[in-house]
Amino acid sequence: MVTERGLRVLQAIVQDYVDTHEPVGSKAIVDRHSFGVSAATIRNDMALLEDEELIAQPHTSSGRVPTDKGYRAFVDHLADLRPLSGAQRSAIATFLADPADLDDLLGRTVRLLTQLTGQVALVQYPSFARAVITHVQFVPLDARRVLAIIVTDTGRVSQRITAVPEPIDETDLEAVRLRLLPLLIGKPVGGAAELLAAAGAAAADPLTATERATREIAGAIAEELEEFRQNRLVMAGTATLARREDDFRGSIHPLLEAIEEQVTLLQLMSEMAADDNRLATSIGRENAAFGLSEASFVASEYDAAVGTARMGLMGPTRMDYARNLSAARAVARYLTRMLDEDENR
């Protein structure tokens, strides 16, 4: 069983190893930290930590380094997060101010996070499946192309260009609009997509140009609404993995593949258990089921009008968990505030 002083020794080892990337010995702990005991006593505490598999000796006669289990114990007993400086908080407010739209805001968010932490930053898009469609407009671009504009109660605006099978005039387009609006206006995105799909499946072979155009435009809108429901990630800082490759025990290729595909990262971030502060961590071998046992993830939740999503950081297990969790929480809170203000305008 690890004593209270043993946990403090573990914290010192984690902090020093993160700072120096060198195995930590008992003398270094005595010199750098105020324990008020001898190096021999610290060595005994380190032996107990090693018995609990919280630290390990990478080489004979070297100091000790934290294991994945040790990092987990460190995070679980992390009483205080490292607060951001006033300059950092001011930078967050300045960097995220006056975004053009949600895409711009989330893009800025990941760039900011990677600048603050030096890690790969990830932000989930909120799911718009429950957003309600409030406005749909069809704009003829030419005789065979129609622009559909879709607006939801969350303020999201989406556009889709559709090519119809044969030329239609404004009278035909108005007929299409009258047929499709009852399936869209006032309906949640998920329900509208299902109504459009069901209407298309139930329709007999269309005979008129209007019916053919209706089917084509309905199908295009259904595809656009499906994209509203899909989970997506925006990321920044992938190059940091190459710069920190020595921090990984093995290859970084599984991480690069996960970044390219996104599905694995979305699933992992969704399954991470959050604590009472809405923070979550997943460390090293805890990610083995996803093929990412070389990496650690920290995440914080943020709120949007359509629900909760997560932002986080990915990097090697030798990361500054206190600083990274603090940065993720601070940026998540600011993002929540911005989205709330935008909704209430």
Asked whether residue 19 falls in the same domain as residue 92, the answer is no
Asked whether residue 222 falls in the same domain as residue 93, the answer is no
* Position 292 in a domain: yes
Task: Give which of 186, 212, 218 is closest to 199, Cα–Cα.
Answer: 218
Asked whether residue 339 falls in the same domain as residue 235, the answer is yes
Asked whether residue 283 falls in the same domain as residue 338, the answer is yes
Residues 61/74, Cβ–Cβ less than 8 Å: no
Please give the tally of structural domains in the chain: 3
Asked whether residue 157 falls in the same domain as residue 169, the answer is yes
Instruction: Please report the pLDDT score of residue 96 as a whole number.
Output: 92
Predicted TM-score (pTM) of the model is 0.81
User: How does DSSP assign 174-210, residue by residue?
Assistant: HHHHHHHHHHHTT-BHHHHHHHHHHHHHHPPPP-SHH
- Of 204, 229, 254, the last residue of a domain is 229
Asked whether residue 225 falls in the same domain as residue 152, the answer is yes
Asked whether residue 112 falls in the same domain as residue 250, the answer is yes
Asked whether residue 31 falls in the same domain as residue 148, the answer is no
Q: The domain containing residue 208 runs over which residues? A: 133-229
Task: Give which of 167, 160, 139 is closest to 218, Cα–Cα.
Answer: 160
Q: Which residues contact 330 (CB under 8 A, 6 or more apart)?
A: 84, 88, 89, 92
Backbone torsion region of residue 187, taken as left when φ is above 0, otherwise alpha when ψ lies between -120 and 50, otherwise beta: beta
Q: What is the DSSP letter of 272?
A: P
125: its two tokens: 């898009």
* Position 12 in a domain: yes
* Position 322 in a domain: yes
Q: What is the DSSP letter of 143?
A: T
Asked whether residue 164 falls in the same domain as residue 19, the answer is no
Residues 29/9, Cβ–Cβ less than 8 Å: yes
Residues 327/316, Cβ–Cβ less than 8 Å: no
| AA identity, residue 66 | P
- Residue 211: CB atoms within 10 Å: 17
Q: What is the DSSP letter of 102?
A: H
Asked whether residue 92 falls in the same domain as residue 43, the answer is no
Where residue 146 sits, what CATH number does that domain have? 3.30.390.10
* Position 188 in a domain: yes
Task: Give which of 36, 33, 70 is closest to 51, Cα–Cα.
Answer: 70
Q: Which residues contact 203 (CB under 8 A, 6 or more apart)?
A: 211, 215
* Position 48 in a domain: yes
* Position 81 in a domain: no
Asked whether residue 157 falls in the same domain as residue 225, the answer is yes
* Position 330 in a domain: yes
* Position 224 in a domain: yes
- Of 229, 246, 262, the last residue of a domain is 229
Q: Is the dihedral of CA 279, 276, 72, 81 positive or negative?
A: positive
Asked whether residue 137 falls in the same domain as residue 118, the answer is no
Q: Which residues contact 46 (CB under 8 A, 6 or more apart)?
A: 9, 13, 26, 55, 64
- Of 185, 206, 229, the last residue of a domain is 229
Tens place of pLDDT per residue across the chain (345 aa): 789 999 999 999 999 999 999 999 999 999 999 899 999 999 999 999 999 999 999 887 789 999 999 999 999 998 778 888 899 999 999 999 998 888 899 999 999 999 999 999 999 988 777 789 999 999 999 999 999 999 988 777 889 999 998 998 989 999 999 999 999 999 998 889 888 887 766 666 667 888 888 888 998 999 888 877 677 899 999 999 988 888 888 889 999 999 998 999 999 999 999 999 999 999 999 999 999 999 999 999 999 877 889 999 999 999 999 999 999 999 999 999 988 876 665
